Amino acid sequence: MQKTMDVFRRRKLTYTLVFLAFLAIFAGASIVAEFHPIDGIVSFPAALQWIAVNLIPDAEAMERLPKILSELMETALLSVAVTVVAAILAFFFSLLGANITKVNGFIKRIVRIVAAFFRNVPDVVWAMLLMFSFGQNVLTGFFALFFTTFGLLTRAFIETMDEVSSHCVEALDATGANFIQKVFQGILPSSLPGITTWVLYMIETNIRSSTLIGILTATGIGYLFDLYYKRLDFASASLVVLSIVVLVLVIETVSNRIRKVIL
């Protein structure tokens, strides 16, 4: 009895300490970031009101629908194209970085460092960098998303391949199969479910990221939002948001279905 009391008391103490620690972090971070919790709370109903007012597009906004849809289409195409191209390259690149297929330890380490680099350089940096040379072009968005996607997928594929059992690769080795045959007859079929899941996830993520890149590089759907937003044409801006939401939800639903069939 005494012991259970102790356990409960200790748990209570832990909860209290964790709570106080969080409170301290919150206060400290708020001061540094100049975040005023009251303003935050106040902004909340205001934003909800904004959404409520602008949620239903007016006639003027509806006139812009074709333009919005065409940009949305381009964004969707862009996300798929970026992801597919990055996935194909990342697949071959990750072969050099996975334990099961690596050429040697040194190259493996280099591959992993390169992947970490591409993954962690913010996409806004790529976007600004590419703006200088490609200008307001669809390719700016393409490459900005490409680098980050490539880095992310390389890591994901390496992890997927490392989970593939080394058993089937050993068997193919024993039949005298060479490296390329092992990859296409053993590793690819075994890691395909993992690879597809990641590719679908990245398509979805890239649609959201391309909005951000679009705002920075004045291209695509992001630019359109920024344009309406800065003109205070909130009804049209909200229509852009709505269309993105619908697209993301559709893609999410489709990929969930596909994932269920594949796994």
Partner 1 sequence: MNETVALSAGISARPSSAVNLERFINRSRKGKIKIGAKSKSQLAIKILVLVLLGITVVAFLTFDYQGIDFGKAVADTLHNIKTVFLEPRLTSDTIGGVLYQLLVTFCLGTLSTLIGAVLAFFCSLLCARNLAHPVCVNIIKSVVAVARAVPNVLWVLIFAVSAGLGSVAAVVGLTFHSFAYLTKAYAESIEEMDPGVIEALRANGARYWQIVCQAVVPSTITSMVAWTFMRFEINFANAVAMGAAAGAGGIGFHLFMAGSFYFDLHEMGLLTYIVVIAVVLLEMISTKIKAKVK
Partner 2 sequence: MALLSFQNVSKTYNGVTKALQDVTFSIEEGEFVSIIGPSGAGKSTLLRCINRLVDASQGTIFFDGKNVTSSKKNELRDIRTKTAMIFQHYNLVDRLSVVENVLHGRLGQKSTLSGAAGHYTEAEKQEAFRIIQEMGLEEQAYKRCDELSGGQKQRVGIARAIMQHPKLILCDEPIASLDPKSSKVIMDHLKTINQTKNITCLVNLHQVDVAMKYSKRIIGVTAGKIVYDGPTDGLTKDKIHEIYQSSDHDLITDVEECV
Enumerate residues 140-199 that contact partner 1 by CB under 8 A: 143, 192-193, 196, 199
Q: Considering the rule CB under 8 A, would residue 137 count as an interface residue with partner 1?
A: yes
237: nearest Cα among 257, 261, 211, 255 = 211
Residue 191 vs 238, nearer CB to partner 2:
191
The residue type of 7 is V
Find the shortest distance in angstroms from Cβ 242 to partner 1: 9
Binding to partner 2 (CB under 8 A) within 172-201 occurs at 172-178, 180-181, 183-186, 189-190, 192-193
Q: Considering the rule CB under 8 A, would residue 263 count as an interface residue with partner 2?
A: no
Q: Which stretch binds partner 1 (CB under 8 A): 60-68, 96-104, 134-142, 156-164?
A: 134-142
Q: Considering the rule CB under 8 A, would residue 22 count as an interface residue with partner 1?
A: yes
Find the shortest distance in angstroms from Cβ 98 to partner 2: 16
Q: Considering the rule CB under 8 A, would residue 263 count as an interface residue with partner 1?
A: yes
Find the shortest distance in angstroms from Cβ 163 to partner 1: 17
The span from the CA of 97 to the CA of 132, in Å, is 32
Binding to partner 1 (CB under 8 A) within 53-82 occurs at 74, 77-78, 80-81
Q: Is the Cβ–Cβ distance between 123 and 140 less than 8 Å?
A: no
Site string for partner 1, 211-250 (x = CB under 8 A): xx--xx-----x--x---x----x------x--xx--xx-
Among partner 2, partner 1, none, the one that 30 touches (CB under a kind-dependent 5 to 8 A) is partner 1
Residue 28 vs 92, nearer CB to partner 1:
28
Find the shortest distance in angstroms from Cβ 103 to partner 1: 25
Residue 116 vs 171, nearer CB to partner 1:
116
| Side-chain-side CA neighbours of residue 102 (13 Å) | 15
What's the per-residue H, E or C state across the chain? CHHHHHHHHHHHHHHHHHHHHHHHHHHHHHHHHCCCHHHHHHHHHHHHHHHHHHCCCCHHHHHCHHHHHHHHHHHHHHHHHHHHHHHHHHHHHHHCCCCCCCCCHHHHHHHHHHHHHHHHCCHHHHHHHHHHHHCCCHHHHHHHHHHHHHHHHHHHHHHHHHHCCHHHHHHHHHCCCCHHHHHHHHHHHHHHHHHHHHHHHHHHHHHHHHHHHHHHHCCHHHHHHHHHHHCCCHHHHHHHHHHHHHHHHHHHHHHHHHHHHHC
Among partner 1, partner 2, none, the one that 172 touches (CB under a kind-dependent 5 to 8 A) is partner 2
Q: Considering the rule CB under 8 A, would residue 85 count as an interface residue with partner 1?
A: yes
Q: Considering the rule CB under 8 A, would residue 104 count as an interface residue with partner 2?
A: no
Find the shortest distance in angstroms from Cβ 18 to partner 1: 10
Q: Is the Cβ–Cβ distance between 217 and 140 less than 8 Å?
A: yes
Task: Enumerate binding residues for partner 2 (CB under 8 A).
Answer: 167-168, 170-178, 180-181, 183-186, 189-190, 192-193
